[in-house]
Structure 1
Amino acid sequence: MEGQGDSFEFKATNHGDVLLAGLRHLRDKQQLFDVVLVVEKQKLPAHRVVLASCSDYFRAMFTDGLKECHQEEIVLSGVTAKGMANLVDFAYTSKSNIDCDSVVDVLGAASHIQILPVIAACEDYLKKHLSLDNCVDIANVAELYTLKPLEQFVFQFMCKNWHEFCSCHDFHRLRKSQLLKLLKSGFPVDCSELDIFLSILNWVDHDVEDRHDCTLQVLDKVLFENISLQELQSVCHNSVFKDICSKVPGLSKLINSFINTTECTKDCEARVPGSITCPNLCKCIARKSVPGIGNLRGFQQTVLVAGGFSNETGMTSSVWYLDQSSSLLKHLTKIPHVDQCNFGMAAHNNKLYVIGGCFNDQMQEIVHPFGFCYDPAEDSWKSIAQMTLERCRFVLGVADGYLYAVGGDPHASDIQMEGAPCERYDPRTDRWEEIEPLPGGRTQHAGTTLDNRLYICGGFQEDEGVLDDLWCFNADSNQWERGSSLLVPRADHAMFTHGNKIYVIGGWYYDPNTRQRVMASSIDCYDVDRMTWETVGSLNESRLYATYTLLNNVIHVVGGWRNGKYRQKCRSIDKFDLDTRRWTKDQDQDLELWEHNTCCLYLPKSLSY
C-alpha cells in the first residue's frame, strides 16, 4: 500500500470527559469496586485508581507498600462521613456541593486526604460568606487546618470592622493567641487606637479571672504612641480599667508612668513583676496623626512612583510603591487614563492626586486637564473636576487645604498672559478657581510647602532661559511675594522642606559662556527667616529626568539619565541622609524610569501581603 510510511497523531479532545463518564458508569453499576472506605460506620465503595488519581494521600497509601494496599476495607479516622462522601462524589464527577452545613466537613476531609481544588473551593466559600456572626468560627477553622491566607483574610475583615466587631459577643470568644495574632496582623482598623485599648480592656474584663495574667502581654500590642495623653488620662477614670487594675498588679503604675513622664531616654523602660516588659507604655512622644487617616495602625509611609517612561512599556500609567522590606519597586495600581507623563502629582489627606499631563497621539503631544484621585485605604480611583486649562510640566502643590496648579508649558493652551497662569482646587467642593498668576511664565519648575505656604522656584522660560527666582504665595492677599534667588538657576529640579528650611536638588542650567547644558550638582538649603541660601551637600551622580523625594529625613533619588545621557539609564535608588550627609546606594531595580513623578503616601501594609 502506497504511503505506508506516513503517520499522523490523532487526539480525542473529549477523552477526559469520556473517561470520567465511564468511571461514573462503573460506580453507578457497582462494578469493579476494589476498596471500601469506612467512615463513621458508613461504607463508601470506590476504585483505588480513581482515589489515587486525585489524592496524594491515597496515592501514597495504595502505592508505597502500606498495609492498606491489600485491605478490602479501610477505616478512616479524623474525618466525617458527610465530608468523605462529598469527596468521593468529587473524584467521580469533578463537582462538589458545598453549603453552610457541609463546608466544615468537606474542608476537614479535603485537608486530611489533600484534595487541593476542594480545599480552595471551601476557602472561597468561607470568604464569600464571612460575617461578624461567624468570623471567629471561621478563624478557628483556618487555624485548625493551617489555612494562613484564609486566616489573614478573616483578620483583615475583623480589623476593617473593629468598631462593630468589638461590641459583638464573638469578640469576647477570641482566645489570647488569636487576639495577639489579630493585633499583630498589620491591617488597618476603622476606629481610633483608644478604641482598640478600651476594647482590649473589655475583653479582659469579660473573663478577668482567666485573662488577667495575659493582660500586659496583650496591651504590649497597643500602639500607645497613637493615643494622646488626654485620651489616656480619661481611661484612668474608666470603671472597667479600675476593676482590672485591682486584679493586674502593676497596670495602674504603668499607665501613670506614661502619663507623668515628661522626658524619655533610650534606656527608659517600664517593668512589672515577673520581668514582663511593656515598653510601648513609656514612649513619651506626641500622638502620631496624619490627615485623612483616623488611626495609623496598619499603615506605612513609602515612596510612590508614577507614569513617565519605562524600559518595559515605554510611556506608562503604572504606579509603583517602594517596598520597605525589599527596597524594590512593586506595582500598586494604574492611573485610570491613557499612558502619560509630565503630569502634576501630590498627596493630600493621604489621597494621591494625579492631574493634567500629556500623552502621544500619532507622534503628536496631546496635553489634557483631567484629574484623578486614588484612595489607598479603598484601593480605588475616582475622577475629579478638570482644570480650567490644559497643563503639563507644571507644579501641583498643596497648601491650606487646596491643591495649586502653577504654570506649565505655554504651548498647552491658547491663553496669553505675562505671568504663569495659576488655579487652585478645593477637594471639599470639587471645584477649581483661578488665582493670581505667578510673575514670569515658566515650565519645568519646582514647588513645595512650608508653614502652609506654597513656594515656587526656578524653571524654564523660552525668552529668559533657565530661571533662578524664588516666590511664595500669600493666600490671604492673593499675591506672590519674592524671595532670595537660587545660588544657581535650575530647571527639571526638585524642591522639598525639612525642618523649617527649604531644599533644592538636581536639575540643570545653561553655561553662560558656552550655552551648553550643565547638570546642577549641589544640594542647596534656604533659611526662610534669614532669606539666605547655603550649599549643604552635593549629588553622588547627576541625573536628568530623575525625581528626588524626602522620606524619613532621607532623600530618595529614582530613575533618570546618568549625567544627562539618554543611553545611561539609572536603575538604582540612591539615598542621601540629611542628618549624616551621606549617600548610600540600594540594589538595582528591574525598572528604568524617566520623566515620571514621585511623592510620599501612607499605604496599608496589607497591600504587600
Structure 2
Amino acid sequence: MMACLQEEEECEVADFSSNLLLNLQQFYLDQKLCDFTIKVENKEFNVHKVVISSVSDYFRAMLDHNMIENQQDSVELKGLTVAGVEPLLRLCYFGSLRLTHGNIYDVMNAANFLQILPAVNCCVQYLKKKLTFENADDLLKISDLYSIPTLRSFYRKYVLDNFLEFALTDQFLNLDSETLADYLSDDSLKITSECMLLHLVMKWYDHDPKSRRDSAEKVFGKIRFVADGWPAVYYAIQCEPFNTNPELQNLIRFADNCLSDPQMRFMVSDHKTTRVRYPKKTFIQIGGKIQPTAHDFLDFSYLPLDFSDDLSTLGWHKNHFYHRDLKRWIPLGASEMSETRTSNGTLTEVNGNAILCGGYIHQLDELGDDEMMVTNATYLFTPSDCRLRPLPSMKHPRAIHASVFLQGCLYAIGGCDDKQLLCSVEKLSNSGNNEISWSYVRPLPVSIKNHAAVACKNKIYVSGGLEYIIEETEKLWCYCPERNKWRKKKSMWEKRRRHGMVNIKDVIYVVGGINQTGVLDTVETYDVETDTWTKLDTTLPQPTYKACTIAMDDKIWLVGGRISIDTDDHIGFLMERILEYDPEEDSWSVIGRLMRTLETPACCALTLKLTPDGQTETDEIYTKYSNLVSLLTDSDVNDADALDFELNRFYNSLPKNS
C-alpha cells in the first residue's frame, strides 16, 4: 500500500492555460500588478514585463538585459504613435489585432519596430484582404516601405486572375508599357481569348496613342495572335496602329506565316508567341491500342459479332486530353484523322505544339483482323485548335521508336519497319528558306526497338530496348549533336524494354519495363555527370510495362500500360490507372484513371487552355471576328484568295519603307 503511494504521478489541472490567460487579461484591464510603463506621444500604458517580452522580440531583448529602461521600469517609444502601439498591446494580451484603413500604416510601423512578427503577418493579411484596384497604389507603397514582397506578388496574381475587371479601371489605362507587357507575357493571365485581350490593349493604346506609339510593339507583341488563329489577325488589321506602325506589321506577318504554314511553328525560337495561354500542362493522348468491347461495334464496322478474344487489341482513332482539375478525359475532337487508327507512334512537344511521327496505321480487313502497316507520316498537333496538320514525312517508315526534341531539331531514333529492326536516326530541322526537312545523322551502333530516350544537358540518352529481335539490353547510349557521335555509357542494373524514361531536373529516371525474367517494378536513376546508376528502394505499386511515361511539373506520370501480378505472367493485363511519382517525397500515388484500358498511344505533356467546366471558352469579340472570317471563307471567292486579299490590302496600306 505504501509503495503505491510513493509512485509519482503527474495530474493536469483542467483549463489551467485558459484561466491563466484570463487572469492576465483581467490584470491588464484593471491595471493591477503592472511592472512596466510604455510612453507613446502623451499617453502612458501600464503593462506586465513577462507578457510584452513573450510577444515582442524588441522588449525581450530590452528586458532580458540590464538596460537603463529595465532599471527604470519604463521606456519612451519615440517615432511611434498611440494609434499604432495601443492595438499591439491589446494583441499581447488578447491575441487579436484591430485594424482599419486609418491605422494600418501606424500599426505596421510599430509592429516592425517592436519586432512583433504575428502582428506583421496580420497586417499583411489585412492588406491582401482589403486590396482593390483603386487603393492598390497606396497599399503597395506600404508594402515597399516595409519590404513586404509577398503583397506585391499577391497583387500581381490578383490582376492576372481578374484581368477583365482590371481592364475597366483607370489604373489599367494609366499603366506604363513595361508593366503591361509583363502582365501580357504571363501564362497565368486569365482571359477568354486573345481577341478580347487585343480589344483591351487597344483601349489602353487609344488612351494615349502619341506617347505609346514607340512602345506599341513591346506591348502588342505579347498578344498570341497565332493561338486565336485568323479571327485575331483579321481584328488586328482593322485597327489603326497596325495600319501605320511598321513594327506591328511584322507581328501580323509572323502570325500570317504561322497560320498559313505549319512548318513555321516548328522553327519559331520564342514559342511563347505561339503557345496557348495557360499556366500548366496536361496529358495528351493520340491513338493507341484497345481491347474492344460490345460498345465498340459502332466504331469497328468490320468487327465480327463473336469477337471475344481477351488478348486481342485493335488500333484506336479517338484522341483525348486529361483535365487535371476535373480529373476527366475530354475528346480532342478536331484532331481525329477520320477513321485512321494509330499506335506506337511518338508525340513530342516542340515549341508549345507537338509532333506526331511514325507508328502503325491499323486497318480492319473483312474478317475483322487488325492489319498494321508502319508509316513515315509526320503531323504537327496545334493545341490552340486541337488539329493535326501534315509535315514532311520521315525518310523511312518506323514504329516502336523514340523521339527527342533538342536544340531546335526533332530526332527519330531506331525502331522497326515491316521487316527489320532499325539503327538509323533521322533529324527534322530547318533546311533553309523557311522550310523543314528530314535528314539522316549518325546511326545507332546497334539496331533497336522498344527502347526509350530523353534529352539531358544538350545530349540525347537512349536506354534499353530489344536488340537483334530477341535480345533485351541494359545498354545506355549517348548522342552528342555537335560531334554527331554516339558513345556507350554505363549500363543499367537491369535489362529492360517497353519501359519509361524521363528527365527530372537533369536526373534521368527509367521506370518499369519487361525482360526475360518478367515484368519489372524497379526504378533506376542516372547521373549524367558521374555516369552512375542508382536503383531506388521505392518500387512501382505493381510491375508495369508499355505505360506512357512523361514528366509533369517535375513529377513522373505513368499512364495505363500493362501490369503483372503473377511473376510468371509475361503478358499482364491492361490498366486504367494514372500513377504519379514525387521525387521529393519518394512515393507513388494514384491520381486518376484512363477513359478506358489503353496501351501504346502517342502521348506527351502539353499546354492546353482548360476552362473550369472543360468546355471551349469564347467571348463576343472573338465571336464577332470569327464570324467575319467565316463570311470571308464561306463566300464565293476561294478561301485562301479571300483571306489573302484582306492581308494584301493591309500590307499594301503600310508605308513603303516598312
TM-score, scaled to structure 2: 0.48
Q: How does 1:132-147 map to 2 (within 5 A)?
A: 132-147=133-148
Matched, 1:560 2:511: yes
2:318 alignment partner, SS class: strand
Letter in 2 for 1:572: Y
1:423 alignment partner, SS class: coil
Q: How does 1:93-112 map to 2 (within 5 A)?
A: 93-112=94-113
Letter in 2 for 1:571: T
Match of 1:470 in 2: 374
Match of 1:10 in 2: 11
Question: What CA distance in whole angstroms lies between the structure 1 residues aligned with 2:172 and 2:84?
Answer: 29
Question: What CA distance in whole angstroms lies between the structure 1 residues aligned with 2:25 and 2:294?
Answer: 66
Match of 2:466 in 1: 509
Do the aligned partners of residues 568 and 35 (structure 1) sit closer, same or farther apart at CA in structure 2, a change above 3 Å counting?
Answer: same
Do the aligned partners of residues 124 and 485 (structure 1) sit closer, same or farther apart at CA in structure 2, a change above 3 Å counting?
Answer: same
Letter in 2 for 1:189: L
- Deviation track 1:136-195 (CA, whole Å, cap 9, x = no partner) reads 33322222222222221112222334454355233577799x959976996733466978
- Deviation track 1:537-566 (CA, whole Å, cap 9, x = no partner) reads 476446735434699xx9995323699695
Match of 2:259 in 1: none
Question: What CA distance in whole angstroms lies between the structure 1 residues aligned with 2:223 and 2:532?
Answer: 30
Matched, 1:189 2:140: no
Match of 1:74 in 2: 75
Question: Does the CA-based 8 Å contact 1:110-1:118 persist in structure 2?
Answer: yes
Question: Does the CA-based 8 Å contact 1:83-1:106 persist in structure 2?
Answer: yes
- Deviation track 1:335-369 (CA, whole Å, cap 9, x = no partner) reads xxxxxxxxxxxxxxx54357999xxxxxxxxx999
Match of 1:420 among 314, 320, 323: 314
Q: How far 1:238 moved relative to its partner? A: 4.5
Question: Does the CA-based 8 Å contact 1:449-1:455 persist in structure 2?
Answer: no
Do the aligned partners of residues 502 and 164 (structure 1) sit closer, same or farther apart at CA in structure 2, a change above 3 Å counting?
Answer: same
Letter in 1 for 2:500: T
Do the aligned partners of residues 416 and 6 (structure 1) sit closer, same or farther apart at CA in structure 2, a change above 3 Å counting?
Answer: closer
Question: What CA distance in whole angstroms lies between the structure 1 residues aligned with 2:128 and 2:294?
Answer: 42
Match of 2:526 among 572, 581, 605: 572
Q: How far 1:40 moved relative to its partner? A: 3.7
Letter in 2 for 1:188: S
Q: How does 1:323-472 map to 2 (within 5 A)?
A: 351-353=282-284, 414=308, 420-425=314-319, 430=331, 436=339, 438=341, 445-448=344-347, 455-457=358-360, 470-471=374-375
Matched, 1:547 2:500: yes
2:375 alignment partner, SS class: strand
Q: How far 1:522 moved relative to its partner? A: 7.0
Letter in 1 for 2:347: T
1:571 alignment partner, SS class: strand
Q: How far 1:85 moved relative to its partner? A: 1.7
Question: Does the CA-based 8 Å contact 2:348-2:403 persist in structure 1?
Answer: no
Question: What CA distance in whole angstroms lies between the structure 1 residues aligned with 2:472 and 2:285?
Answer: 30
Question: Does the CA-based 8 Å contact 1:356-1:368 persist in structure 2?
Answer: no
Letter in 1 for 2:83: K
Do the aligned partners of residues 430 and 102 (structure 1) sit closer, same or farther apart at CA in structure 2, a change above 3 Å counting?
Answer: farther
Q: How far 1:23 moved relative to its partner? A: 0.8
Question: What CA distance in whole angstroms lies between the structure 1 residues aligned with 2:176 and 2:68?
Answer: 41
Question: Does the CA-based 8 Å contact 2:84-2:108 persist in structure 1?
Answer: yes
Question: What CA distance in whole angstroms lies between the structure 2 residues aligned with 1:588 and 1:236?
Answer: 60
Match of 2:30 in 1: 29
Question: Does the CA-based 8 Å contact 1:39-1:77 persist in structure 2?
Answer: yes
Question: Does the CA-based 8 Å contact 2:376-2:397 persist in structure 1?
Answer: no
Do the aligned partners of residues 68 and 138 (structure 1) sit closer, same or farther apart at CA in structure 2, a change above 3 Å counting?
Answer: same
Do the aligned partners of residues 114 and 548 (structure 1) sit closer, same or farther apart at CA in structure 2, a change above 3 Å counting?
Answer: same
Q: How does 1:184-223 map to 2 (within 5 A)?
A: 188-190=188-190
Question: What CA distance in whole angstroms lies between the structure 2 residues aligned with 1:508 and 1:84?
Answer: 71
Identical aligned pairs, as a percentage?
17
Question: What CA distance in whole angstroms lies between the structure 1 residues aligned with 2:19 and 2:291?
Answer: 58
- Deviation track 1:209-231 (CA, whole Å, cap 9, x = no partner) reads xx99xx98x99899769689x99
Q: How does 1:84-99 map to 2 (within 5 A)?
A: 84-99=85-100
Q: How far 1:30 moved relative to its partner? A: 1.6
Q: How far 1:55 moved relative to its partner? A: 0.9
Do the aligned partners of residues 436 and 472 (structure 1) sit closer, same or farther apart at CA in structure 2, a change above 3 Å counting?
Answer: farther
Do the aligned partners of residues 2 and 174 (structure 1) sit closer, same or farther apart at CA in structure 2, a change above 3 Å counting?
Answer: farther
Question: Does the CA-based 8 Å contact 1:197-1:219 persist in structure 2?
Answer: no
- Deviation track 1:294-313 (CA, whole Å, cap 9, x = no partner) reads 48xxx69xxxxxxxxxxxxx
Do the aligned partners of residues 510 and 591 (structure 1) sit closer, same or farther apart at CA in structure 2, a change above 3 Å counting?
Answer: same
Question: What CA distance in whole angstroms lies between the structure 1 residues aligned with 2:126 and 2:85?
Answer: 18
Question: Does the CA-based 8 Å contact 2:143-2:151 persist in structure 1?
Answer: yes
Q: How far 1:571 moved relative to its partner? A: 1.9
Q: How far 1:56 moved relative to its partner? A: 0.5
Greater strand content: 1
Do the aligned partners of residues 449 and 437 (structure 1) sit closer, same or farther apart at CA in structure 2, a change above 3 Å counting?
Answer: same
1:45 alignment partner, SS class: strand
Question: Does the CA-based 8 Å contact 1:352-1:601 persist in structure 2?
Answer: yes
Question: What CA distance in whole angstroms lies between the structure 1 residues aligned with 2:138 and 2:14?
Answer: 44
Question: What CA distance in whole angstroms lies between the structure 2 residues aligned with 1:426 and 1:601?
Answer: 12
Question: What CA distance in whole angstroms lies between the structure 2 residues aligned with 1:457 and 1:602?
Answer: 26
1:570 alignment partner, SS class: strand
Aligned Cα root-mean-square deviation (Å): 6.3
| Structure 1 alignment gaps of length 5 or more | 243-251, 263-283, 301-349, 358-366, 370-385, 390-403, 406-412, 460-466, 525-534, 575-582, 605-609
TM-score, scaled to structure 1: 0.51
Letter in 2 for 1:570: E
Q: How far 1:482 moved relative to its partner? A: 13
Question: What CA distance in whole angstroms lies between the structure 2 residues aligned with 1:292 and 1:560?
Answer: 30
Do the aligned partners of residues 185 and 13 (structure 1) sit closer, same or farther apart at CA in structure 2, a change above 3 Å counting?
Answer: farther
Question: What CA distance in whole angstroms lies between the structure 2 residues aligned with 1:458 and 1:235?
Answer: 45
Question: What CA distance in whole angstroms lies between the structure 1 residues aligned with 2:536 and 2:273?
Answer: 32
Letter in 2 for 1:448: L
Letter in 2 for 1:2: M
2:93 alignment partner, SS class: helix
1:558 alignment partner, SS class: strand
Question: What CA distance in whole angstroms lies between the structure 1 residues aligned with 2:88 and 2:153?
Answer: 26
Question: What CA distance in whole angstroms lies between the structure 1 residues aligned with 2:286 and 2:167?
Answer: 40
Question: Does the CA-based 8 Å contact 2:360-2:374 persist in structure 1?
Answer: yes
Question: What CA distance in whole angstroms lies between the structure 1 residues aligned with 2:374 and 2:58?
Answer: 73
Question: Does the CA-based 8 Å contact 2:317-2:341 persist in structure 1?
Answer: no
Q: How far 1:54 moved relative to its partner? A: 0.9
| Structure 2 alignment gaps of length 5 or more | 227-232, 255-266, 301-306, 322-328, 363-370, 380-386, 388-392, 415-450, 453-463, 551-603, 610-658
Q: How far 1:27 moved relative to its partner? A: 1.6
Question: Does the CA-based 8 Å contact 1:458-1:469 persist in structure 2?
Answer: yes
Match of 2:577 in 1: none
1:559 alignment partner, SS class: strand
Match of 1:396 in 2: none
Match of 2:152 in 1: 151
Letter in 1 for 2:511: G
- Give the paired residue count: 426
Do the aligned partners of residues 123 and 603 (structure 1) sit closer, same or farther apart at CA in structure 2, a change above 3 Å counting?
Answer: farther
Q: How far 1:25 moved relative to its partner? A: 1.8
Q: RCO (CA 8 Å, sep 6+): is it higher in 1 or 2?
A: 2
- Deviation track 1:256-301 (CA, whole Å, cap 9, x = no partner) reads 9989999xxxxxxxxxxxxxxxxxxxxx977745666248xxx69x
Question: What CA distance in whole angstroms lies between the structure 2 residues aligned with 1:591 and 1:185?
Answer: 42
- Deviation track 1:305-337 (CA, whole Å, cap 9, x = no partner) reads xxxxxxxxxxxxxxxxxxxxxxxxxxxxxxxxx
Question: What CA distance in whole angstroms lies between the structure 1 residues aligned with 2:176 and 2:355?
Answer: 47
Do the aligned partners of residues 547 and 183 (structure 1) sit closer, same or farther apart at CA in structure 2, a change above 3 Å counting?
Answer: same
Q: How far 1:470 moved relative to its partner? A: 1.9
